[in-house]
Amino acid sequence: MAQLLPILAGTQRCCSLRRVTFLLLIALALAFFGYCYQKPRAQKLENIQAGASVAVRERHDLQDVNLPRMVYPQPQVLALPREDVLLVTPWLAPIIWEGTFNIDILNEWFRLQNTTIGLTVFAVKKNIIYLKQLLETAERHFMVGYKVNYYIFTDRPDHVPRIPLQNGRQMVILKVQSYSSWRDIFLHRMEVISNFSEQRFHREVDYLVCADGKMKFTEHVGVEILASLFGTLHPGFYGLSRNNFPYERRPQSQAQIPEDEGDFYYTGALFGGSVPEVHRLTKACYQAMMVDKNSDIDAVWLEESHLNKYLLYHKPSKVLSPEYMWNKQLLGYWGAEQVNRLLRIVTRIRLNVLGNSFQE
């Protein structure tokens, strides 16, 4: 018995060890099969989340690239580059005026980043006639030396002009529905940009610049405008008080801005930023416009009113001066004050007409 007890104890320990080993093998097998089963689902979830947030290819930190040696004038802390205009917003976003930046430094940094820019343009209905002028002037003045994708949204693909492009540039023609009214065109412009930002643009470009199809470039427009989110001061209202901005004031509209609020008035003809930020902006504006549409109301300046509401509560990281949107012919003929007065009159008329039609 004295000898048998250790043998039984050893046998019991051996059985226990085998049981533990067996259980561990079962646990490992279950873990392996669970991993194989969950991995595709996890990948699918990651893809969905990536598509929803479009959080890709964001690069806005000047410190993640080592610039080479460059020779340029020393910046003077006590000497402002411009003393006649505001150079920074209250939330410390720079306002880009001519003479306030060194384009050589910026070009060096963005080229080291291998930056690609997308320019979205809507050329629908009769506005297709302006497309050739826009593309030809963009080739001379817009992001010269950089890779650019021209995203042309049109209901007339066969009418898109074929022009020679610089190396590294391409034209992408995207067919859109031909809507019966300009109201629907403006409404779905935001929807289309939002959808393509989520589905395509985030894989192809780092920044999006959204421009009006009737624009033309007359002078340099380069990487100094690029930021996470930027808006452009409207050339007709940049010198006015907020009381004179053509904001949507009716509380029935999702674009309504109260009388005691407002920073600047931004034009809807030129805005942009990183793909994720443009996606968020356009999606929010489209959803707000759909709420208005379901309530049978139009904001006073349609998508531009919703853009101003968005940029009021989602401050842009850079603001472009009205120099980027000057209409020299209009200003030369009328003068700045006359243009401002005319725009204010038109806005009041639109508000009265839209307000009366809503009440009816």
Catalytically annotated residues: 304
Amino acid identity of residue 294, one-letter, is: N
Helix, strand, or coil here: 152?
A: strand
Helices (H), the chain: 4-53, 103-112, 131-141, 182-196, 202-204, 275-294, 302-313, 328-334, 336-359
- φ, ψ at 151 (rounded to 5°): -95, 105
Q: Is 212 annotated to bind ligand?
A: yes
DSSP string, 40-106: HHHHHHHHHHHHHH---S----GGGS-PPP---PPPPTTS-S-SSS--B-TT--BEE-TTSS-HHHH
Is 234 annotated for ligand binding?
yes
Q: What is the edge-to-edge ordering of all strands in the sheet holding 147-154?
A: 95-96, 318-320, 229-232, 270-274, 207-211, 116-123, 147-154, 169-175
123 labelled as ligand-binding?
yes
The closest alpha carbon to 265, from 294, 287, 236, 300, belongs to: 236
Alpha-carbon span 164 to 234, nearest angstrom: 32
The Cα–Cα gap between 49 and 228 comes to 20
How far is 271 from 281, CA to CA, in rounded Å? 10
Say if residue 205 carries a ligand binding annotation.
no
Q: Establish whether 209 is an annotated binding residue.
A: no
Distance CA 117, CA 211 (A): 13
Non-local (6+) Cβ contacts of 221 within 8 A are 141, 142, 143, 324
Other beta carbons within 10 Å of 215: 18
CA 169 – CA 140 distance, rounded (Å): 12
| Binding site listing | 122-124, 212, 234, 304
